[in-house]
Amino acid sequence: MQRIGLTGGIAAGKSVAARRLTELGAVVVDSDALAREAVAPGSPGLEAVAEEFGPGVLGADGSLDRAALADLVFSDEAARARLNAIVHPIVRRLAAEREAAAAAVDRGAVVVHDIPLLVETGQADTFHVLVVVHAPAVLRVERLVRLRGMPREQAEARVAAQATDEERLAVADVVLDGEGADEDLRAQVDQLWERLRVERADELSADVL
C-alpha cells in the first residue's frame, strides 16, 4: 500500500487534484468530510464542541452552525486550537479506519489522505510521498473573493490561518502547480499517478522475489 499525503492552501486547487486521483483509482480519504462526520448531529464530537463554545454554535435543529463556529475560530487562534484539539483526534481515528479498510481489500492500494491542515498538524513525516498543490497566497485570496464571493477581509483571514506557502513547500516531496487551469493541474496529477504506478509495480515485484 502507498500512503500519500495531499495538501495545499485554501483555493490552491487541491480538490481538483483529489478528484482526479479518485478517477485514476486512488482511495481518497477526505479529512474535511471526516471532520463533518466527527461533529455530526448526536455525535460525541458535536457534544464536546457545544460544551466548549456554547449553544450559539448550534442551529435550531441541534446541528452544528458552521458559520457561527467559523466566526469564532478564524479570528481567534486560541479558539481554533481548542476546536482542533476536539476534532483532530476523531478525524485521525476515522482516517485510520478508512485506510485499514482499503488495505484489507487491496494490499497494493494507493491511499491518499487529503488533509488541508497536514503541515499545521505535524503530519508531514508520516507519508510515503507528500504532495503539495501550490498557488501563491495572493492568488488564493483573489480566488476566494472572485469565485466564492467571500469578503476580502474574511478571505485574507482564512489564508492567514493556515501554514505559509514557504512552510508547505519546505516539506513537499512533489509540488503540483495550481496557478493555472484545472486541465493543467489534472495533467500534472496524471504524471504523478504514472510515477506512483511504476513505484508500486517495483514494490510488488520485490515482495514476490
Q: pLDDT (tens digit, 0 to 9) for every residue of the chain, 209 residues total?
A: 899 999 999 999 999 999 999 999 999 999 999 999 999 999 999 999 999 999 999 999 999 999 999 888 887 889 999 999 999 999 999 999 999 999 999 988 999 999 999 999 999 999 999 999 999 999 999 999 999 999 999 999 889 989 999 999 999 999 999 999 999 999 999 999 999 988 877 776 666 55
The C-alpha cell at 113 is 489522505
Q: Is 71 exposed, middle or buried (0-12, 13-18, 19+ CB in 10 A)?
A: middle
C-alpha span between 161 and 181 (Å, rounded): 25
* Residue 209 pLDDT: 53
* Residue 205 pLDDT: 64
C-alpha span between 149 and 94 (Å, rounded): 32
Q: What is the CATH number of the domain that holds 60?
A: 3.40.50.300
Structural domain boundaries, residue 71: 2-208
What's the predicted TM-score (pTM) here?
A: 0.90
* Cβ pair 8, 93 in contact under 8 A: no
The number of domains in the chain is 1
C-alpha span between 113 and 99 (Å, rounded): 9
Q: What is the separation of C-alpha 57 from the centre of its chain, rounded to a whole number of angstroms?
A: 23
Provide DSSP, 75-110.
T-HHHHHHHHHHHHHHHHHHHHHHHHHHHHH-TT-E
**Cα→Cα distances 145→8, 16, 204, Å:** 18, 19, 46
43 sits in the region (left: phi over 0; alpha: psi -120 to 50; else beta) called: beta
Cα angle: 47, vertex 49, 52; to 5 degrees: 110
* Residue 201 pLDDT: 74
Q: What is the separation of C-alpha 192 from the centre of its chain, rounded to a whole number of angstroms?
A: 18
C-alpha span between 67 and 48 (Å, rounded): 18
